[in-house]
């Protein structure tokens, strides 16, 4: 069975740190597979936006958990037009702002938030069937039985360069922020960032987006023909 005709239960997990290219790679891959696409990071960002919008301290775990439990979070899974909504309001632009970026690691570290969002993510995956899911704990927690798990990374300097270019931001400040997020994401108690034992590690430092997508499609093709 060829890659393009894999069964409806095909789930691809793409994990890795910020700036490794997960979002672009995952969306391109989903389009190539005619699959759904889920950005779990956008879900945590949306809850973070709701926390800040309500004037809640992102380090107040109980208050943050209450927000996560009461808001209605909706995400779109069309790779060509993904979206995030809180209580019916689109927040796609807002969740990429500096305030949300600075607070999202703290919100994502709250166990109650992770429990609620992981349950929603799993429901989306089951409903979608064929889907590419990106985040930081997909292969280890959200979809441990994914058909393919990829841990996408890149040199820290290259990740900072990409992110600063994308956001038209200062390179040094971006590098400092990425290092901060890497440390928080990898050291949190609940579902820390780490490769799944059976994940394929893919370093994108010297690769373009198309090259990475081609490599992942080749991995799927190898599985399909095995």
Q: What is the pLDDT of residues 38-62, one digit of tens each?
A: 999 999 999 999 999 999 999 999 9
**Residues of 140-179 as b/e, b for ≥16 C-beta within 10 angstroms?**
bbbbeebbbbbbbbbeeebbbbbbbeeeeeeeeebbebbe
CATH class of 8-220: alpha beta
Q: Is 99 exposed, middle or buried (0-12, 13-18, 19+ CB in 10 A)?
A: middle
pTM of the predicted protein model: 0.89
55: left (phi over 0), alpha (psi -120 to 50) or beta: left
pLDDT score for 148: 97
pLDDT score for 77: 98
Using CA atoms, how far apart are residues 199 and 25, in angstroms rounded to an integer?
A: 16
pLDDT score for 225: 66
pLDDT score for 181: 82
Which residue in this structure is represented by tokens 């200062």? 170
**Percent of all residues in the chain with a pLDDT value above 70, rounded to a whole number:** 95
φ, ψ of residue 43 to 5 degrees: the values are -65, -45
User: Over the stretch 177-193, which tens digit does the pLDDT of each residue have?
Assistant: 888 888 888 888 777 88
With a cut of 70, which residues of the chain have pLDDT below it? 1-9, 224-226
| Sign (positive or negative) of CA dihedral 100, 182, 38, 65 | negative
pLDDT score for 9: 64
117 sits in which H/E element: helix 111-128
Q: Which two tokens stand for residue 195?
A: 């490769």
For the chain, the structural domain boundaries read 8-220
In terms of DSSP bridges, do strands 200-203 and 89-90 run parallel, antiparallel, or are they unpaired?
A: unpaired
């Amino acid at each position: 069975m060829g890659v393009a005709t894999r069964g409806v239960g095909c789930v691809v997990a793409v994990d890795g740190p910020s700036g490794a290219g997960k979002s672009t790679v995952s969306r391109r891959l989903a389009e190539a597979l005619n699959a759904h696409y889920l950005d779990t990071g956008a879900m945590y960002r949306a809850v973070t936006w709701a926390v800040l919008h309500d004037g809640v301290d992102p380090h107040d775990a109980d208050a943050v958990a209450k927000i996560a439990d009461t808001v209605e979070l909706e995400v779109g899974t069309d790779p060509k037009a993904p979206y995030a909504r809180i209580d019916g309001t689109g927040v796609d632009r807002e969740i990429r702002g500096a305030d949300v970026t600075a607070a999202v690691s703290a919100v994502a570290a709250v166990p109650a938030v992770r429990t609620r969002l992981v349950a929603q993510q799993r429901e989306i995956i089951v409903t979608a069937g064929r889907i590419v899911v990106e985040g930081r704990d997909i292969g280890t927690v959200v979809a441990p039985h994914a058909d393919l798990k990829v841990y996408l990374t890149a040199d820290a300097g290259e990740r900072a360069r990409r992110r600063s270019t994308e956001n038209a931001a200062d390179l040094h400040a971006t590098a400092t922020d990425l290092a901060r997020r890497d440390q928080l994401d990898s050291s949190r108690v609940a579902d820390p960032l780490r490769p799944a034992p059976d994940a394929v590690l893919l370093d994108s430092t010297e690769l373009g987006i198309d090259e990475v997508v081609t490599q992942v499609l080749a991995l799927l093709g190898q599985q399909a023909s095995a």
